[in-house]
Amino acid sequence: MSSSSQSPGLTLTGFQNLIRDRYFATDSLRGTPSTFMWFIEEIGELSTALSNNAAGKSPSPDERANLEEEFADVLAWLATLANINGVDLAAAVAKYTTPGKVEGVKD
């Protein structure tokens, strides 16, 4: 079962609040520089998982599960960074949901 089917009603705001409720006390004491380092470490782990799930290759169930786990970890650390810096992620992504704000694609 994919993780998206396990929590179909979870919004970006709900996820950010869940991370805040569970981790804010510790995260805010750690501060932005150290938290950013944890975030970058998770991006590295996601990079490795993406390599293990490269197009044209059939990943094992464990490799696929690890890929999903690393995406979740990156999202959680991003929410942590947003929380300790007073950024509402749902409001921030409005630039992508408001017509005319972001157009085109990057090459």
> pLDDT (tens digit, 9 = 90+) per residue, 71-96?
999 999 999 999 999 999 999 999 88
Angle at 90 between CA 86 and CA 91, to 5 degrees: 70
* Most distant CA atoms of the chain, gap in Å: 44
Please report the domains of the chain, with CATH numbers, ordered by start residue. 33-97 (1.10.287.1080)
Count other Cβ atoms within 10 Å, centred on residue 49. Answer: 21
Please tell me the pTM assigned to this model: 0.82
Exposure string of 61-85, with b = 16+ CB inside 10 Å and e = fewer, is eeeeebbeebeebbbbbbbbbbbbe
Residue range 4-57, pLDDT digits in tens: 445 668 999 999 999 999 999 999 999 999 999 999 999 999 999 999 888 777
In angstroms and rounded to an integer, the radius of gyration of the C-alpha atoms of the chain is 16
Tokens of 106: 């990057």
